Amino acid sequence: MAEVQLVVVGSIGIDTIGTPTAKREDVLGGSVSYACAAASYFTSVGMVGVVGNDFPDASMALYRQFGIDLEGLQVVPGETFRWSGVYHDDMNNRDTISTDLNVFADFSPDLPEAYRATPYVLLGNISPDLQLHVLDQIKNPQFIMADSMDLWINVARDDLMKVISRVDLLTLNDSEARLLTGEANAVKAARALLELGPRYVVLKKGEHGALLFTQDTVVMAPAFPLDHFEDPTGAGDCFAGGFMGALARARRHDTVDLREALLYGSVVASFGVEQFGLDRLAKLTAEQIDERFGLLGEMIDPA
């Protein structure tokens, strides 16, 4: 297996998902699952997470099918993290029915030695103290991206601010950016986040795409328009994995590369939501990604 270029740290779970048209049980999920699967189409990726000894052999085989390096995957006695939720009719909002942390409650993301000098790192949406624990282990990374959420803004703000000051790119949705900064305007919120230390901020806007902010520029990446999709779970993680995978493949971080990575993230996320869990990503090809990437580019610039 090729030397790992991107390490992804986050959650692994078994989900029960209800949508207006269907319900699926025992769906492989978690931020690491989606992000690693998305990134695997661009670069060699290593997974850091924890599962219980009840974790299905079929799910482990699926990780291997994607070519994900599993040296950082901990298998410990107990039950794997489980989540269940139901989406509203608009498929943008959902209600959490149950959350059972199980072995994830005691997760300590200790990186294998081979991962500690990996050039690209994606910190999935886990508690800021765990993100800091990872940051203390890595050596001379080229680019670090961190995701977070409103929960950590409300209960772990001090640690989250430390994380933000140590990463290259922070991603939040626009409501979380407003919550963290106190700015009602999303653009002002992004500018305020840049003052906290990162070189880049990405505001996720769901079906409306994403915005990348630097000190000097704003880059837009629309979502690829779909007339049908089945499951929006993990879309943001697919976006982050596709983005970081494309950036790791480019090995450059100028505005052109960042814009291209944004579009690739948007494209991979659009495939991910077409079916439940990782079902669509498991059947995806690099050629299909590039074809949709070209179509998205034509929509942005029809000339």
Confidence label for 254 from pLDDT (cuts 50, 70 and 90)? confident
> 1 lies in a domain?
no
Side-chain half-sphere exposure of 87, counting CA atoms within 13 A: 20
Confidence label for 141 from pLDDT (cuts 50, 70 and 90)? very high
Rounded CA Rg of the chain: 18
Spatial separation of the C-alpha atoms in residues 252 and 101, rounded to whole Å: 37
Spatial separation of the C-alpha atoms in residues 42 and 272, rounded to whole Å: 15
> 268 lies in a domain?
yes
231 CB burial (10 A radius; 0-12, 13-18, 19+): buried
pTM, two decimal places: 0.96
Is residue 299 scored above 90 in pLDDT?
A: no
Characterize 55-68 residue by residue with b for buried, 16 or more Cβ atoms within 10 angstroms of its Cβ, and e for exposed: beeebeebbeebeb
Helix, strand, coil shares of the chain, percent, nearest 5, are 40, 25, 35
Q: Which residue segment(s) compose the domain that 43 sits in?
A: 6-300
Spatial separation of the C-alpha atoms in residues 297 and 291, rounded to whole Å: 10
Domain count, the chain: 1
The share of the chain scoring above pLDDT 70, in percent, equals: 99
> 139 lies in a domain?
yes
Is residue 8 scored above 90 in pLDDT?
A: yes
Is residue 283 scored above 80 in pLDDT?
A: yes
| pLDDT at res. 1 | 63
CA-to-CA separations, 195 to 149, 180, 214, 216, 238, in angstroms, rounded: 19, 13, 10, 13, 27
> 152 lies in a domain?
yes
> 110 lies in a domain?
yes
CATH number at residue 11: 3.40.1190.20
Is residue 303 scored above 80 in pLDDT?
A: no
Give pLDDT tens digits for 54-109: 999 999 999 999 999 999 999 999 999 999 999 998 888 899 999 999 999 999 99
Give pLDDT tens digits for 160-215: 999 999 999 999 998 999 999 999 999 999 999 999 999 999 998 877 889 999 99
Confidence label for 255 from pLDDT (cuts 50, 70 and 90)? confident
> 108 lies in a domain?
yes
Characterize 194-224 residue by residue with b for buried, 16 or more Cβ atoms within 10 angstroms of its Cβ, and e for exposed: bebebebbbbbbeeebbbbbbeeeebebbbb
